[in-house]
Amino acid sequence: TWGNIISAFIIISTAATLFAAGISVESAEQAAMVLEPLAGNWAKVLFSAGLLGASLLAASVLPLSTTYAFCEAFGFERGLNRSFREAPVFYTIYGSMIAISVIIVLIPGIPLFPIMWLSQTLNAILLPILLVLVLKLSNNQQLMGKWKNGRLQNILAITLTIFISLVTIALLATTLFNIDL
């Protein structure tokens, strides 16, 4: 998607400017420095606008998708088209996730970049496990019927799962043992 392409270019720009100069990003101000060669004095304004837009989108979409997945997995009524009385678990989980996130962000002096980094590390650790579960479900004839994975799909899925697992192991090794790759 377009958002992923932009994210990739942000990562590449950061690596080419900050990492190459030996700068470790610990704050949004340091991250905005990436745009300075391109935008000059407007870099912080552009970065702030982008960060605000991404934050507002993520603040609603991420808890919503997580709540949908949880309620679907455990058989609770779900949907924004239902009232609170029809789907109390859905709205309680959704509201609680937003409230907890707001509380964490508003704690004075809390380092937000390490928290974001840790959440993405947790995502990386869980991804291979989830991929194995999805692969298992997609090969279940009773569940998938005629849409069950074929041989080529399984080869691709297993190859990607192994690759992602190896990348996750490399991430953990570099983090836990302070190894430079």
Tell me which residue of 47, 50, 55, 90 sits closest to 71, measured CA to CA.
Answer: 90
pTM: 0.63
Q: Where are the domains of the chain?
A: 1-109, 111-181
- The model's confidence at residue 36, banded by pLDDT at 50, 70 and 90, is confident
Average pLDDT, the chain: 86
What does the pLDDT look like over 146-168, one tens digit per residue? 999 999 999 999 999 999 999 98
- The model's confidence at residue 140, banded by pLDDT at 50, 70 and 90, is very high
- The model's confidence at residue 1, banded by pLDDT at 50, 70 and 90, is low
For residue 64, the model assigns a pLDDT of 94
Residue of 91 and 35 predicted with greater confidence:
91
For residue 181, the model assigns a pLDDT of 63
